[in-house]
A and B are shown apart, each in its own frame.
Chain A
Amino acid sequence: MSNLLEIQNLSVSFDTPAGEVQAVRDVSLSLPEGKVLALVGESGCGKSVLCRSVMKLLPRTAKIKSGSIVAGGVDITNYGERDMRRLRGSMFAMVFQDPMTTLNPVMPVGDQIAEAVRVHNRRISRTDAHRRAVELMKLVGIERAEERSRLYPYNFSGGMRQRSVMAIALASNPRILFADEPTTALDVTIQAQILDLFRQIQSTLHTATLFVTHDLGVVARVADLVAVMYAGRIVELGTVEDIFYDPRHPYTWGLLQALPAWSRGRDTLNAIPGMPPSLIHPPRGDAFACRNEYALGIDYLEQPPMFKISQTHSAATWLLDPAAPKIQSPIQGGPHAE
């Protein structure tokens, strides 16, 4: 199994009048072929910036400070706009949250997909592009595709629209798919269908997907691997089983406990107290320390390294240091155990 995407020690900052915003800090991540990696974490922790920095879709005020990005075996860290434009057509594609912002309301859906096919393959004839569009519509599970290809987005249900957006994303045969909260705007029945579609595409096309979401139910259904991000850093990384059944970072514990299932029959939900730190002058030590009821003295002084728990699982918390006191995870046994 090879890694389609390797990010190593990536740091990305924005220059703002108030100072340097360190949005992504020393992130290392690999994305194997045919897998879905879910990226979860607090709002503003750098998930979208991380995706955009791989695709080089950042504003000019952003700078990659250090690190490397290798996609499909090629080091693209220093690629300029022209090289990237080529790659965005063949290597990467992106699916966003709201299908209506991607679709043109006054153009038949089939034409929009065919156009995406032609953008990536200029030599293809109109008829062939249309044929390919219908194929793609079938691939993403739109029934009666030929007929529907002539309809407009408003004739489609929310689920069919998001499927169409997927078809547009797949028109370029991408090897790596970035999905930034692609199901947040959908109802749960359609969401389940789209998630299953993601998995099916994974297994038939062997793409690798970086799936940004904050919905842990979605993660449970779609992800093979999970990266938990906090204040610009990855704080825990593992298989979906590692993260749900044996989480080690107190922030991951907090996220899981914030689920309404943990507050059944109570008056308030378990929000993690406090606020994430400013990324302009991130605190010394572990950025989560001041909100962490299990924080140790050293957390305020020194950034914890990634401790390896198993072949697949690692976490950056001093609690995993051999010298640290043993703490029982509050998550043990799930929300329904008392």
Chain B
Amino acid sequence: MPNNDYVCVEHLSHRFRLTRKIAIDAVKDVSFSIDRGEILGLVGESGSGKSTVARCVMGILRPSEGRVMYNGIDVNGPKLSREDKLRLQCERQIIFQDSGSALNPRMSVRRILSEPLDIHGLARDRGDREKLIAQNLDFVGLDSGILESLPGELSGGQRQRVSIARALLMKPKLIVADEPIASLDVSIQAQIVNLFKRLQAEHGFTFLFIAHDLAMVEFLCDRVGVMSKGRLVELAPTRQLYEAPRHPYTKALLSAVPIPDPRLERSREIPVYHEPENITRREWIQADENHYVLMER
């Protein structure tokens, strides 16, 4: 069935096999889509499968069941044409939370940023390249002075910004960002979230944004999905989700957001969410316009 969704995740499940006997069902029957130019947030419990979804969307992991469509291309399709493969490679970029630590420790920042341009034959002219690199470093609040540094000589947040700059350099159409700003301080987070918003408005790129910081998600995203224990439990436009959450896990999550006010924050009891036992039926129902929730009984 052809449709206009830019990214379409259909009944995605992923199982990690650890040993012959042990397997983890990390993602269970998750479906959602992202429109072209939309920023979709994905939040939820630690270990609920958000990163696994992100990796499946990028084709880093192969789904055990279901599929991921990117602009009409089956990301894990068996017979992709060369052209489709190249598009998947150039048009999608992923930023991991700790992608800074995945930078090659022996490469200078300059080489780290030049390499993807080399591979795809972009900005061949030296002057253009310098300008492009400087511009993208500036985007993420770094000074060209760090170009000759090695990753080990940078702080955690500086490394993270180098990898954000590297992803942006490719002018991707889809960015999958898996906690891209968690390791940055508030002011730089603000700067990068502003940047994402601006780039989104100017270039209309599509965005899957995974984060634990619900205030940032509220600020940045058009719609938000909530995951718990491998399942998508709620999906709604941001305003609606924050103002009228339906699923008990979403409610617990939203009420746990720390308030930057010590007297208020310390006097609060944070509710603990317990999944109901013996769930026999699960149903994905529409609670409101564009607002979906998983009913569990």
Name A residues whose Cβ lies closer than 8 Å to a Cβ of B.
Answer: 14, 16-18, 21, 40-45, 48, 59, 97-98, 154, 157-159, 181, 184-193, 196, 214-221, 223, 240-241, 244, 254-256, 258-261, 263, 267-272, 275, 278, 280, 334
Contact = CB atoms under 8 A, between A and B. Distances in A.
5 contacts: A42-B187, A191-B256, A193-B272, A244-B261, A256-B260
B258 A259 contact: no
B117 interface: no
Contact of A221 (B47, B266, B273): B266
A43 B184 contact: yes
Contact of B143 (A196, A244, A255, A275): A275
Contact of B256 (A16, A158, A192): A192
B279 interface: no
Interface band, chain B: 35 or more
Contacts of A244: 260-262
A268 B200 CA distance: 13
A259 to B, nearest CB: 6
Interface of B: 16, 18, 24, 43-48, 97-98, 141-143, 145, 148-149, 152-158, 160-161, 179, 182-191, 193-194, 197, 212-216, 218-219, 252-253, 256-266, 270-273
Given A43-B185, A260-B219, 20 more contacts: A41-B185, A42-B185, A43-B156, A59-B152, A154-B18, A184-B182, A184-B183, A185-B182, A188-B253, A189-B272, A193-B270, A193-B272, A196-B270, A221-B262, A244-B261, A255-B185, A260-B218, A268-B197, A278-B143, A280-B145
Nearest to A267: B197
Contacts of B212: 184-188, 191
B258 A192 contact: yes
A271 B186 CA distance: 8
A220 B260 contact: yes
Contacts of B185: 40-43, 214, 255
A21 to B, nearest CB: 8
| Residue in B190, B215, B260 whose Cβ sees the most chain A Cβ within 10 Å | B260
Contacts, number: 168
B46 A269 contact: no
| Residue in A16, A42, A255, A261 whose Cβ sees the most chain B Cβ within 10 Å | A42
A228 to B, nearest CB: 11
A283 to B, nearest CB: 13
A254 B187 contact: yes
Contact of A189 (B182, B187, B261, B270): B270
B184 A214 contact: yes
B273 A189 contact: yes
Contacts of B214: 188
B258 A255 contact: no
| Residue in B44, B190, B252 whose Cβ sees the most chain A Cβ within 10 Å | B190
Nearest to A21: B153
A192 B270 CA distance: 7
A278 B183 CA distance: 20
B186 A189 contact: no
Contacts of A269: 189-191, 193-194, 219
A59 to B, nearest CB: 8
A43 B155 contact: yes
Contacts of A97: 183
Given A158-B47, A189-B253, A275-B142, A216 B260 contact: yes
| Residue in B148, B188, B257 whose Cβ sees the most chain A Cβ within 10 Å | B188
A286 to B, nearest CB: 17
A157 B218 contact: no
B253 A44 contact: no
A187 B46 contact: yes
Q: Which 4 A-B pairs have the closest CB atoms?
A: A158-B46, A43-B157, A217-B258, A269-B190
